[in-house]
Amino acid sequence: MKKIIIYIVLLCVVIISCDERQLTTYDGDIFIQFEKEYSDSTSLMFIYFPDQDVIDWPIVLEIIGVASNKDLTYKITVNDNLTTAESNHYSLSNEMILKAGNYRDTFNIKLNKTPDLDNKQVRLFLQIEATSDLHVGKIEKSMQVINFTNSVSRPAWWDSDMTTMYLGTYSDKKYRLFIQVTNEYDLSDKDMSDIRSLALQFGQYLIDNPTLEDDGTRMDVTVLGLKWD
Amino acid sequence: MKSKIIYITAIVLTILYSCYDDKGNYDYIELKTVEISNVYSNWSVPLGEPYEIFPEINYGDANEDDFEYLWIAEMDTISYSKNLSYNFFNTGRFRTVFMVIEKATGARTVLFIDLNVIATFQRGFVILTEKDGNSVIHYIRPKTTTIDENTQLYELEVFEDIYHNNYEDQLGSNPVRLICHYDSEDQILLVQNGGDGTLELSGVNFEKVITTELEFVGNTYPSGFVPLKASYGLYMDVIIGTNGDVYTRKKNSRTFQAVRYPNVAVNDMKAASLYMAPKSNFHLIHDTQNNCFMAVGELRQGTAGRIIKIEMDVEDESNSENFTDLSNLTSDFKLIYSGCYYNPGYNPYFQIVKKNNQYFMQEFNITSNVTEDVLYIVNGTEQLFSEGIILSDDTKYIVNGGQYIYFAEKNNLYYYDRSTSITKVYHQFEANVIITSICHGRDRNEVAVGLDNGEFYVFDVSTRVLASGNSETILRLENLGKVVDVIYKLGSNSNFESYFEAL
C-alpha cells in the first residue's frame, strides 16, 4: 500500500512537470556551398563546343538552412595559388545574389578560348568566401576545380574495338574533325547502332571531303558499309 | 562350463529355427503383358490443340478390364486413360512414356515416344490481301493427322483475317508485300504504305512487334525513305527504299531488332532490287545508279557489311559468251526476278532479266576472291525464257531445285520444264482475273496462287498430276480481298534451311 502511494505521488510529479511550448522555426545561420564536391572536378575541351570561343559554364550552388525572405549576397573568388589559368582565360563576377526564397542558384563563369590553350591545359580553382549574409558550407563543397583546354587527347572510349570496327586509328586531327562533323564527342554511353551510324556519317564526310592526316595519309574509318574509291 | 553353454545355445537355435514360417510365394503366376500399336513419335500438334492418341492394344487372352493406363510426359503424369487427349501448355518435344499396367500383378508394358508441340502458327501460307481499303492477313495451317502406321491425313486449316479476329485491330492499308525472316522463331515484315506503315509481325501469334521506322537510329526514317524490300542474313540486314537508298545494319546476334539501321545510306548506289539466297553470304543488289550488281557481304563477322563489287570472271572463261556482263549493264537492262536453287557448297542463282524487250533466263554461281573485296560471276548461262509465251514485267516466278519453273502471267499458271525447255499451262483461270502472287507450299508438290479477285488456290503439282495434264486443287478460298502477296512461313531458321534444302 505504501508503495502504491509512492508511485501515485511520483506520477503526479511527472505530469505536473509537463509544459506546453510553441514550436519555433529555424532562424540560425545560412550556409552556402557548391552542389558538387571539390574532388569531382570538371574537365572541358573547347573542341566539344566547336563554334564557340567563349564557354558560359554554369555552376550550381545550394544553401543549408532556411531560405531567406530577402536577397542574399555570396562571393566566389579564385585561389591564385592553386590556379594556373591566367586572367585572360576566364571572367567571373565576384559577388552574386541568391534571390529571396531560393535554395539554389546558378552562376556562369566565362571561359575564353585563347591561342595558347591549343597546347596546354589550365586549372581554375574557385572557392566560396563568407559574406555578411552567408557562411561557407561544408569544406569539401566550398571549392571547385575546372580544367580546360583547346587541345585534344585520345578519349578512353576510343579503344581497340573502336579503332578496329568503327573509327580507325586515332589522331587528334581526326578526333577534332569527328566532333565537328557529328557534334558528338563522347561515345562511351552510345549503343552499337548509334556508334555505327555516327561512324558511317563521319566516313561519308571523309568520302565527300577527302582529308589528309598530318603524316600525309588519307584519313579514313574502318566501319564497313560505304563504298570507298 | 564354456562348452555346455555352447551346446545349449546351439540346441535352442535349432529348436527356434524349426518354428520359422517361410511365407515366400512359390505359386508362380503369369505376368500379363500386351502389344501396343498406333502410338507413334514424330508428328506435331500446334499449341492450344489437344494431343490425341488412340492406342490399339492386343490384350491376348486377358480381359481389358484387368488393366489400367498411365501417360507420363517429362516426369509429369498427364493421363490415366487409355486414350490420350491432353493440352500441353508450352511448345517443345516431350519425352513421353505410355504404360499399360496389369492391375493384379503390376506388370507393365511400356512404350516410349516423343510428343512434339509446335507454335500455333508455325508453318503455313500467309496471304496478304487488300480488302475494304485495309491490309488483311489470312493464315492457312497444314495439319497432318496420323491415321495409322501407314496413313496420314493432310488438311489445310484456314484462319481468315487472323490479325483482326485475334486483336480486333487493323493492320494498316496499301499493302505491298510480305517478307518472312527467321531466328529460333520467325517474324514477318509487312510492307505497306498506309496505317502505321511498314511493320514487323510476330510469326508466333501475328501480333504487331515494331514499326520499321522505330528500327532506325533516331526512331525516324531518313529523309525521303519509304521501305520497299529487306533481306536478312546471319550478320547483316539490308533494307532498300522506293528511292533506291540502301541501309545496312550489322548484328551482334541473331535476335530480332537487336540493333537498328543507321541513318546513313550506302553512298553512290541506288538499288532497284535486293535478293539474298538462303544460306548464302551475300545480299545482291541491282545498282541502277552505276548499272551493275553489287553485294553486301557477310562471309564472316569481321568483314560483314563490306560493299563488294561483282565482276565477271574473265580468266575463268566459264561464263557463256552471250551471258550479260553484270558489272556493266546497259540502261535497258531490268531485273525481273531473282531466285536460287539449293546445292551444297554454293547456290546456283536464277534470274529473269529483260533486255531489248525480251525476257532471258540467267543461271550462274558467285565466288569470292581471297581478300573478299570482289565477287566473281562464274558458270553463267543465259537463254531466252519460255519462247512463244507472252511475258511481261509483272509475270510472277518461283523456282526450286527441281525440274520445273512455275510462272504466272495474267490468268495463266505455267510450268517450264528445264530439261526440255518446254512450257505448258498448268491451270487457266477466267480471262478477267489476274494472278498476283505465287509461291510453293509445304514442298515442291504444292503451288499456291493468289488472284486479284480475292480467290486463293493451293494446287497439287506432283508428278502424277502434271502427267495427267489436268490441274488438281487442294484448297480454294474466295472473298479474301485482292491478293497482294503469298508466302509460306516455316517458323524457325532451322525449318527454313531444311525446307530450302528439300526444295
**Residues B266, B288: Cα–Cα separation, whole Å:** 14
B3 three-state secondary structure = helix
**Mean pLDDT within A182-209:** 96
Nearest to B262 by CA among A197, A56, A144, A100: A197
- pLDDT score, position A16: 57
What is the distance in angstroms between the Cα of A176 and the nearest Cα belonging to chain B?
A: 21
DSSP B257-297: TSS-B-S-PPSS--EEEEE--TT-SEEEEEETTTTEEEEEE
What's the confidence (pLDDT) of residue B401? Answer: 79
Residue A64: count of CB within 10 angstroms of its CB:
16
The crossing angle, in degrees rounded to 10, of helices A192-208 and A172-182 is 100
A199 burial via Cβ count (<10 Å: 0-12, 13-18, 19+): buried
Task: Choose from B253, B260, B264 for mutation: most chain A CBs within 10 A.
Answer: B264
Nearest to B466 by CA among B410, B402, B394, B398: B402
Place of cell 508362380: B28
Q: What one-letter code names the amino acid at B261?
A: Y
**Cβ of B310 under 8 Å from any chain A Cβ?**
no
Phi, psi of B7 (to 5 degrees): -60, -45
User: What mean pLDDT is predicted for residues A7-26?
Assistant: 59
More confident residue, B3 or A15: B3
Q: What is the reported pLDDT for B498?
A: 85
pLDDT at residue number B33: 80
Do B413 and B397 touch, CB atoms closer than 8 A? no
Closest CA relative to residue B394, chosen from B417, B411, B379: B411
First-to-last alpha carbon distance for chain A, in angstroms, is 111
Is the minimum CB–CB distance between B289 and chain A shorter than 8 Å?
Answer: no
Query: What pLDDT score was predicted for residue A12?
Result: 56
Give pLDDT, residue B78: 94
Of the partner residues A191, A201, A224, the one whose CB lies closest to the CB of residue B264 = A201
B268 vs A194: CB contact, 8 Å cut-off? no
pLDDT of residue A11: 62
Q: How far are the Cα atoms of A177, B205, B488 from residue A43, in angstroms, in the given order? A: 20, 52, 59
Neighbours of B349 (CB within 10 A): 23
Give the burial class of A38: count Cβ atoms within 10 A of its Cβ; 0-12 exposed, 13-18 middle, 19 or more buried: middle
Which residues on neighbouring strands pair with residue B158, listed in sequence order?
Answer: B140
Cβ contact, residue pair B307, A227, below 8 Å: yes
**Which tens digit of pLDDT belongs to each residue from A103-139?**
999 999 999 999 999 889 999 999 999 999 999 999 9
Contacting residues of B for A192, CB less than 8 Å apart: 250, 252, 259
The predicted structure's pLDDT at residue B26: 66
Provide the pLDDT for residue A15. Answer: 58
What's the one-letter identity of residue B50? P
All cell numbers assigned to B7:
551346446
State the CB neighbour count (10 A cutoff) for residue A25: 6
**Is residue A9 predicted with pLDDT exceeding 90?**
no
Model confidence at A20, pLDDT cuts 50, 70, 90, reads low
Which residue ranges in chain B fall short of pLDDT 50?
Answer: none
Secondary structure E strands in B344-391: 349-355, 358-368, 374-384
pLDDT of residue B403: 87
Distance separating alpha carbons of residues A33 and A64, to the nearest angstrom: 8
Is residue A21 predicted with pLDDT exceeding 60? no
Please say whether the beta carbons of B403 and B416 come within 8 A. no
B468 alpha-carbon distance from chain centroid? 29
pLDDT of residue A29: 86
Which has the closest alpha carbon to B458: B122, B127, B46? B127
- Alpha-carbon distances of B241 from B49, B192, B198, B227, rounded to whole Å: 41, 12, 11, 4
The C-alpha of B155 sits at a distance from chain A's nearest C-alpha, in angstroms, of 45
Cβ contacts of residue A228 below 8 Å, gap of 6+? A207, A220
Whether the per-residue pLDDT at A208 is higher than 80: the answer is: yes
- The per-residue pLDDT for B222 is 97
Q: How far are the Cα atoms of A54, A85, A117, B487 from residue A88, in angstroms, in the given order? A: 11, 8, 11, 71
